[in-house]
Structure 1
């Protein structure tokens, strides 16, 4: 590209030199003739422009033989120059030239670069543009002729992120780069050396990692789907039996989120019946028996019951279920299960179907519009709440603690899991299971209820016990055990014990995630 630009530059210089030479020759050939109308260099320049543009006013004409010769040269060049200029303008408009000029005027805005254009990229870009009036959407590929143009302003530039960053010149906020294909960061040429650029990178993955290094962040569409599911369709106190059909990527993440966030009472006993291959899941999470009853229902704690048999054989479980979640990774298979359930089974509970297709009368979840949002992919609100929890925690304990920037990925995830449970805490405090969003009013009322209730030692003790239960489930899920002293390498922690065995100071630590409601209200 640089070599081609140099050739264009040299050609331009040569053409300009030839043009100036011809105008000069015309001037000197005419200025000495008494009958000439071209008397000055300006006259010669004006005659050349009128001739080359084929306007031909006729106000100035050469009279000398040499002047006539130069005039003929200008006449012959006029058509070629016009065609060249026209082609150059068309090339500039249709290639990278015009978009880069447009970008140059928008350096102070927020740039979002997508490595390629697809359904997921289009949905996220549309949501970004709707939320951010200063968004500049850039796709790193050429627009195909048969492609329908998006409903929002955007640029299609087949260039690397490095060229885009060079154009931005570190003005305004950092450019955000999105790799929307699964595990794309390992194979996409656009991802090379991204860690060296002053950008924030969000790459879609399936490997379960949230962070790589510095500016590289991962997101999981399956986990985003599960988070959105339990947020929009929260578990209710009357639900004791939940069936999950399909235990691929979506089913696994839905169960994981249920384990980590569906804590609404210290006395709850929800039975999760899971249909699908669970061998890998159980092999990884070897300590689940510490917090759950495995294989059989319990009246004292939640149960995880994995079925190797076909779901079709368990009529009684489906009949008694308060909720059936259909979530195989193959969407057509999910629809097939949905229709068979309706046709042949008695289901008193709600049936939720994972589907990107919307249909009337169907309780569906996991559409692209729900999953690919800035808040889901970049986790801005969730991360901000997690940082607040860590700050409150640091202030509430007497021993040395780490700031957010110093935490490793696991302990950051621990704070994020606490933030994930905030909406559930609001429902508990307000005794309102219909709340699905944070608003200033709901947060204010919830925090007021908490302040009023914690005056009672028994109520405060109950709140602490509930959050300790949530905390235990998180650490158990990641295979931690009890140890007299904390040892991150051995995954041992002195608080991995029943609530009654905690020290007074350890019990106070559980207040941080409840006190966060006050900080969130102040911010809202």
Structure 2
């Protein structure tokens, strides 16, 4: 819009110069106005009385030609956008230019172009600017966006707090952490599962998500104990997640990783997620430690190309990997979670399994329970790693029970990380969301047969989706 306003000023400049020059030459104002307009169409045949008129005669046709190009360019984009909108999968992106550029690489949808945060019609909206800017845009256009799919980059708000199914929060750090653990080679810690140590250098929002996703996905054995040694500012992590003590794995915070090189050398896994002075940190680790592999969450992977010991680095290009259509829309995971919920409804309430009921049953759930199903679907990647050498056509009851036990641990951790605790609700039901208590937040061995069967059914159903 600024460009257009500046262009309008230049457009009327020949008119102003023409009027000034002709009135100085004693031409009546009405004639001066007419002659000045005619200059835009090369129709002025009078003399050049002075420099003002001469300048106007040359500038006016140039401005005419420029304005035609300007308006054609302006309306051409609007026409292209209108054509793209006629398809049902058009997308418009707002916000950070770098993030938008990365996201565009994975989109095969028609992309509607716009400047800044100007509202345009589309079927999906991806907002990846500053959080306040994203939320303000949504608030200002809430009615127009009511039936649209809106994806908002947000690190502060929790997805479980959003009740509108058309609005999805996506957190680049959360997606990155989940993808990392999905790709993680579990053999690195399985041999030492009773006393494994994973070191994290750096914390902040990215480190927090790495720990939270680890606690929900790194569940390999009922008797495991993994210690996450974190070098970074705690930022009230343990006070916010007050039920961490109920989880068998522990999170320990330290200052100054340089003073704990012995601990780092003995760790099963070392992850660097600190972005400030990252190259310096990596150089020190390469020179001062004997770690065979260092996992690096790198914003700019190319800076490590020249390091002599780069073979000791596992570079995780977290932005490039996280910001894809599949991860932002997350439609497959959501569909599996809905099918999982529908299977529950079929098994326990005789609901027929079809597409209509899949949506109806899903919409009956509160947001917290929806994300519990999504969490279970996410964890399935880890489950498949654990059973990759099993004969899935001949699963014994013992093995199903083993996987059900792990599923119960996963379910419990999901609740603990939302600060739920064991309790017997006064209403006689299994849970009380207001009090954040659940009767089944107990060891798997103490569950009733009905509840164990639910975990077994979850495992069996997800194995069908392998």
- TM-score (norm. length: structure 1): 0.67
Q: CA deviation at 1:123?
A: 0.7
Q: CA deviation at 1:346?
A: 2.6
Q: CA deviation at 1:373?
A: 0.4
Aligned residue number for residue 400 of structure 2: 460
Is 1:91 matched with 2:70? yes
Is 1:511 matched with 2:456? yes
Aligned residue number for residue 119 of structure 2: 160
The correspondence of residues 126-137 of structure 1 with structure 2, limited to 5 A, is 126-128=105-107, 132=108, 135-137=109-111
> How far apart, CA to CA, are the structure 1 residues paired with 2:400 and 2:138?
52
Distance 1:304-1:187 versus aligned 2 partners, 3 A rule: closer
Encode CA deviations 1:289-310: one digit per residue, 9 max, x unaligned.
1122xxxxxxxxx333222x32
Aligned residues: 386
> How far apart, CA to CA, are the structure 2 residues paired with 1:508 and 1:80?
89
Q: Which is greater in Rg?
A: 1
Distance 1:391-1:482 versus aligned 2 partners, 3 A rule: same
Which has the higher mean CA deviation after the structures are superposed, 458-467 or 252-261? 458-467
Which residue among 146, 149, 157 is the counterpart of 1:200? 149
Aligned residue number for residue 31 of structure 2: none
> How far apart, CA to CA, are the structure 2 residues paired with 1:315 and 1:105?
60
Aligned residue number for residue 181 of structure 2: 230
Q: CA deviation at 1:212?
A: 3.3
Which has the higher mean CA deviation after the structures are superposed, 75-84 or 111-120? 75-84
Distance 1:76-1:426 versus aligned 2 partners, 3 A rule: closer
Which residue among 154, 167, 172 is the counterpart of 1:216? 167
Corresponding residue SS for 2:277:
helix
Aligned residue number for residue 21 of structure 1: none
Give the root-mean-square deviation of aligned CA atoms.
2.9
Q: CA deviation at 1:186?
A: 5.5
> How far apart, CA to CA, are the structure 2 residues paired with 1:498 and 1:124?
43
Is 1:272 matched with 2:228? yes
Corresponding residue SS for 1:110:
coil
Aligned residue number for residue 339 of structure 1: 283
Distance 1:195-1:310 versus aligned 2 partners, 3 A rule: farther
Gaps of 5+ in 1: 5-74, 143-157, 166-174, 293-301, 432-445
Aligned residue number for residue 354 of structure 1: 297
Aligned residue number for residue 431 of structure 2: 486
> How far apart, CA to CA, are the structure 1 residues paired with 2:402 and 2:96?
50
Q: CA deviation at 1:518?
A: 4.9
> How far apart, CA to CA, are the structure 2 residues paired with 1:194 and 1:124?
24
Encode CA deviations 1:496-516: one digit per residue, 9 max, x unaligned.
111111111100111243223
Tell me if the contact between 1:241 and 1:322 (Cα under 8 Å) persists in the aligned partners. yes
Aligned residue number for residue 320 of structure 1: 266
Q: CA deviation at 1:392?
A: 1.9
Tell me if the contact between 1:184 and 1:204 (Cα under 8 Å) persists in the aligned partners. no
Aligned residue number for residue 93 of structure 2: 114
The correspondence of residues 167-316 of structure 1 with structure 2, limited to 5 A, is 175-185=123-133, 188-189=136-137, 192-197=140-145, 198-210=147-159, 212-214=162-164, 215-236=166-187, 237-238=190-191, 240-278=196-234, 280-292=236-248, 302-307=249-254, 309-316=255-262
Gaps of 5+ in 2: 5-37, 45-59, 352-357, 425-429
> How far apart, CA to CA, are the structure 2 residues paired with 1:471 and 1:187?
31
> How far apart, CA to CA, are the structure 2 residues paired with 1:394 and 1:115?
39
Corresponding residue SS for 1:430:
coil
> How far apart, CA to CA, are the structure 2 residues paired with 1:507 and 1:229?
30
Is 1:475 matched with 2:415? yes
Encode CA deviations 1:126-153: one digit per residue, 9 max, x unaligned.
211xxx2xx22123217xxxxxxxxxxx
Tell me if the contact between 2:199 and 2:271 (Cα under 8 Å) persists in the aligned partners. yes
Q: CA deviation at 1:335?
A: 2.2
> How far apart, CA to CA, are the structure 2 residues paired with 1:406 and 1:353?
42
Which has the higher mean CA deviation after the structures are superposed, 234-243 or 246-255? 234-243
> How far apart, CA to CA, are the structure 2 residues paired with 1:196 and 1:278?
41
- TM-score (norm. length: structure 2): 0.75
Distance 1:80-1:424 versus aligned 2 partners, 3 A rule: farther
Corresponding residue SS for 2:176:
helix
Corresponding residue SS for 2:236:
helix
Aligned residue number for residue 123 of structure 1: 102
Distance 1:227-1:366 versus aligned 2 partners, 3 A rule: farther
Is 1:104 matched with 2:82? yes
> How far apart, CA to CA, are the structure 1 residues paired with 2:98 and 2:90?
20
Tell me if the contact between 2:127 and 2:134 (Cα under 8 Å) persists in the aligned partners. no
Which has the higher mean CA deviation after the structures are superposed, 113-122 or 209-218? 209-218
Q: CA deviation at 1:451?
A: 4.6
Q: CA deviation at 1:475?
A: 1.3
Corresponding residue SS for 2:411:
helix
